[in-house]
Amino acid sequence: MGEFHVMDHPLIQHKLSIIRDKNCGTREFREVVNEIASLMVFEVARDMPLKDVEVETPEGTAHAKKLAGKKVAVVPILRAGIGMVDGVLDLIPTAKVGHIGMYRDEKTFQPHEYFLKLPSDIGERQIFVVDPMLATGGSAIMALDALKKHGANPKNIKFVCLVAAPEGVKAVQKAEPDVDIYAAALDDHLDHGYIVPGLGDAGDRLFGTK
């Protein structure tokens, strides 16, 4: 079964409280979502492999380290996942970006895919799938399926979200046992498809739509 990690770093927890507040406006919400995404990826990237290198400094030779593993792709689930991309790219500027468009039916909460564009070498990459909300898990599971169909290796995929519901974590772990999930918080439950207490509709809050 894939591992589930709640990232309890104080800065992540502090910033999450800012965006949970219903009075947090669009501009601040957008900024802080990206800041949390950066902090989370900083932690998620902790197991990236390194190689030994020699670097000529102005004073001599340093025996140093550089990243040695797979190149990275960040894949946001549209729309709300877009809000996390810049935060990831701030830390990993060379990452390629794939997009998977997904919306939930308002009544059934079933996800529908409407767009997909991935780097052609997705099968060779370490993939960070980003979406602020993991609710029923339907969108995440459909996005992970789409990635696999296009050659991604589930062992190379990490799912990074801000708020997760227990139902969604369970569903993704069952459907995709090779994918580890990282969240800033595990909330209480779902109510009519929405995470409680959650932070509301992440896409609407990021883009100022309603």
Catalytic residue list: 104, 108, 201, 204
Helix (H, G, I), strand (E, B) or coil at 95: coil
Ligand-binding site membership of 195 (annotated)? yes
> Is 136 annotated as ligand-binding?
yes
Minimum CB distance to ligand URA smaller for 80 or for 143: 80
The minimum distance between CB 15 and ligand PRP, in angstroms, equals 18
Q: Is 137 helix (H, G, I), strand (E, B) or coil?
A: coil
Q: Which does 79 bind (CB under 5 to 8 A by kind): ligand PRP, ligand URA, none?
A: ligand PRP
With contact defined as beta carbons under 8 Å apart, do 164 and 185 qualify?
Answer: yes
The site for ligand PRP (CB under 6 A) is made up of 77-80, 102-104, 109, 111, 131-140, 168, 193, 201-203
Nearer to ligand PRP (CB atom), residue 119 or residue 198: 198
Whichever of 38 and 136 has its CB closer to ligand PRP, that residue is 136
Binding region for ligand URA (CB under 6 A): 80, 133, 135, 194-195, 198, 201-203
Q: Which two tokens stand for residue 97?
A: 């970006």
For residue 183, say whether it is annotated as part of any ligand binding site: no
Spatial neighbors of 129 by CB under 8 A, at least 6 apart, are 75, 76, 77, 81, 140, 143, 144, 147, 157, 158, 159, 160
Q: Say which entry of ligand PRP, ligand URA, none residue 87 contacts (CB below 5 to 8 A, set by partner kind).
A: none
Q: For residues 64 and 55, is the Cβ–Cβ distance under 8 A?
A: yes
CA 176 from centre of chain? 15
Helices marked H in the chain:
10-20, 26-44, 82-91, 138-149, 166-175, 202-207
Q: Which does 195 bind (CB under 5 to 8 A by kind): ligand PRP, ligand URA, none?
A: ligand URA
**Is 6 buried (19+), middle (13-18) or exposed (0-12) by CB count in 10 A?**
middle
How far is residue 86 CA from its own chain's centroid? 12
Q: Is 116 annotated as a binding residue?
A: no
Interacting partner of 194 out of ligand URA, ligand PRP, none (Cβ under 5 to 8 A depending on kind): ligand URA
201 is in an annotated binding site: yes
- Which of 72, 185 has the CB closer to ligand URA? 185
Binding site: residue ranges? 79, 104, 131-139, 195, 200-202
The annotated binding site for uracil is made up of: 195, 200-202
